[in-house]
Amino acid sequence: MGAPAIRLANAAAAYDGRPVLSGIDLTIRAGERVALMGRSGAGKSTLIGLIRAQAPERVALVPQAAALVGTLSVFHNVYMGRLDRRSTLHNLRTLAFPAAADIAEIRAVLARVGLAEALRAKAGALSGGQQQRVSVARALYDGRPILAADEPVSALDRAQGAAVLAEMAAGHETLVVALHDVALALDHTDRIVVLEAGRIVLDAPARDLDAAALAPFYQAAA
């Protein structure tokens, strides 16, 4: 693995005075594929937020809620992945008259998640699973080296989820993904970090684990 891409030392987070994470020591190296797992409320989403805050200029995000603008097209929602790296004039022109090159590039990204035909559809008219894939496509189009994703395939079946996770891993140097599906985590990441009550209770290579090893931390909470 490469140099540290993200490093948290004794990190903590709280909401309304209530501790959510405490004593988090976590180093993620360039090239790693890391699954964050644990019971609902264990702090996975908060940890995703801390990871992104460490290096926002290098982290593309897939939020737990797809966070799409429902009245805009799928094209425009994916285009937002690079909004901050385009000129104001280009962005304004794209609202009404997208460039052919942008259309072609975004159609190709959507094809990677099986949604090329939805390019011009309104995002709000899509199913939950389709919206989730648009959110992933936006992060792929963003193209930053680290992808932090919070339950990005929860609305997909396992085959679709596996295909989307493979595209996410192929499109970014480093992947950190919160997952609830043990099989997908074991098959598509090389390291599993388990949270419980806001602390890391397991951090091990995926090859050294199986479903039985994760059951006390994860399956009982399903």
Pairing of strands 199-205, 146-150: unpaired
Q: What is the mean pLDDT of residues 39-64?
A: 95
User: CB-based burial of residue 103 (10 Å sphere; 0-12 exposed, 13-18 middle, 19+ buried)?
Assistant: middle
Q: How confident is the model at residue 133 (pLDDT cuts 50, 70, 90)?
A: very high
Residue where the block lists tokens 């290098």: 58
> Would strands 59-62 and 33-38 be described as parallel, antiparallel, or unpaired?
unpaired
pTM, two decimal places: 0.93
pLDDT in tens, 146-173: 999 999 999 999 999 999 999 999 999 9
What pLDDT band is residue 222 in, cutting at 50, 70 and 90? very low
pLDDT at 1: 66
pLDDT in tens, 191-214: 999 999 999 999 999 999 999 999
What is the pLDDT, as a whole number, of residue 218?
65
Domain boundaries, the chain: 1-58+147-161+172-222, 67-143
Inform me whether the pLDDT recorded for 221 exceeds 50: no
Please name the fold of domain 1-58+147-161+172-222.
Rossmann fold (3.40.50)
Helices assigned H by DSSP within the chain: 44-54, 74-79, 88-96, 100-112, 128-142, 158-171, 182-188, 211-214
Q: CB neighbours of 73 closer than 8 A, spacing ≥ 6?
A: 119, 120, 121, 122, 123
Q: Dihedral (C-alpha) 141, 185, 188, 74: value to the nearest 10 degrees?
A: -20
User: What pLDDT, on the 0 to 100 scale, is given for residue 105?
Assistant: 98
Across the chain, what does the average pLDDT equal?
A: 95
Class of residue 18 by CB neighbours under 10 A (exposed 0-12, middle 13-18, buried 19+): exposed
